[in-house]
Amino acid sequence: MFRDARSYQMLFLCLFLVLGIATRDWTLHPGIILVAIATCLVTQWAALVVSSQFPILGSQFNPATQTIATPATPDSPTPSPPHPFPSLPSALITALGLSLLLRTDHCSTMMVAAIAAIASKFLLRFRGKHIFNPANFGIVAAIGLTHDAWVSPGQWGEGSWYILLFLATGGLVLQKVGRWDTTVTFLGSYACLEAVRNLWLGWTWDVWLHRLTSGSLLLFALFMITDPRTIPNARTSRILWAVAIALLTFILRNIFFLPTAVFWALFALAPLSILLDLLWEAPRFEWKARELRVES
């Protein structure tokens, strides 16, 4: 239906937001969602304008990076018309991700998160690729810079039909993007670590299952950790990277008792992708309307 995987992602994130607001007991205000969306779009637009004037700040339109993307899928025979701001969908996805995960009572806090998220894409770059997952960076920035933001890891509950929904929709997007390896590795290694702990402690297996069927964990694994623009380019790198995040999450959760361990783990290990990209070279992922996965 859609040619750009981001369209699916936007659709699904919107669906989750609507479902969450309608069926879950969320302290979520529609006004703050609108602020997140507006701030992300405006910041992205402003940053694009500025970076086109000062190319050193960003390479969204850097011809060099554009040429890396070589269309090659058989199901995209006709080229799509150029989009004036091809990265606006990404900004919208970031805004939806922030709305789903970050909680605050104040619009100003959400603005801080949104600006930090988008600005990180332009300011924190290495070889033209942004280092941090924007939504993740925004969450960490809001929690660190303000005193009224939080994340509710229990907000989706566990073991409900939402899991199936997340798996189905996430699987569809991942299949389009070609980054399922990251999710599978992350969930697999995290499940193994928790299984070993469970076995060692002597808990029954429903404890293990309960920990793994957390809606928030799945949402993270399927929709955040897989952002193709920030994760390592080569498959080997991605697998190593996902294992590292699973390990750090496990440590933060079970030794330091951080309920929001996944976000901190991703944030802390994001720079590792630079090193992995240097060790295993592979072409960068580019969002293309016709070409979802670039293997040039």
Partner 1 sequence: MSFELVVPLTLSSSRYLLPLYSFTPLPLYPPTMKLLRILLISLLILSASLCVASGAWAFCGFYVAKADARLYNQASQVAIARSGNKTVLTMANDYQGEVKDFAIVVPVPVVLKKEQVEVGKPTILERLDAFSAPRLVEYFDPDPCTPLVYERMMPAAPTMSAGARKDEAARSQNLGVTIEEKFTVGEYDILILSAKESGGLETWLRQNGYRIPQGARQLLRPYIRQQMKFFVAKVNLNEFEKSGYQNLRPIRMTYESPRFMLPIRLGMVNAQKEQDLIVYILSPEGQAEVTNYRTVKVPSGNEIPTFVKDEFKDFYKSMFQTSYDREGRNVAFLEYAWDMANCDPCSATPLNREELKEAGVFWLDNPETSPSSGRLIPRPFPIAPSSNVFITRLHIRYTRDKFPEDLMFQTTTNRELFQGRYVMRHPFTGDASCSAGKQYRRSLPRRFEQEAQTLARLTGWDIQTIRRKLPKIQAQALTWWEWVWFTLSPSSPLS
Q: Where on the chain is the footprint of partner 1 (CB under 8 A)? A: 24-25, 27, 103, 105-106, 108, 147-150, 152-160, 200-204, 206-207, 209-211, 214, 255-257, 259
Query: Are the CB atoms for 186 and 246 separated by under 8 Å?
Result: yes
Query: Are the CB atoms for 178 and 292 separated by under 8 Å?
Result: yes
Q: Considering beta carbons, is residue 20 or 228 the nearer one to partner 1?
A: 20
Q: Considering beta carbons, is residue 194 or 227 the nearer one to partner 1?
A: 194
| Smallest gap from residue 199 Cβ to partner 1 (A) | 11
Q: Considering beta carbons, is residue 206 or 295 the nearer one to partner 1?
A: 206
Q: Considering beta carbons, is residue 174 or 252 the nearer one to partner 1?
A: 252
| Smallest gap from residue 207 Cβ to partner 1 (A) | 5
| Smallest gap from residue 82 Cβ to partner 1 (A) | 43
Query: Are the CB atoms for 245 and 231 separated by under 8 Å?
Result: no
How many Å apart are CA 130 and CA 64, to the nearest integer?
Answer: 15
| Smallest gap from residue 198 Cβ to partner 1 (A) | 9
| Smallest gap from residue 50 Cβ to partner 1 (A) | 29
Q: Considering beta carbons, is residue 12 or 162 the nearer one to partner 1?
A: 162
| Smallest gap from residue 30 Cβ to partner 1 (A) | 15
Q: Considering beta carbons, is residue 158 or 181 the nearer one to partner 1?
A: 158
Q: Considering beta carbons, is residue 78 or 204 the nearer one to partner 1?
A: 204
How many Å apart are CA 133 and CA 118, to the nearest integer?
Answer: 10
| Smallest gap from residue 147 Cβ to partner 1 (A) | 4
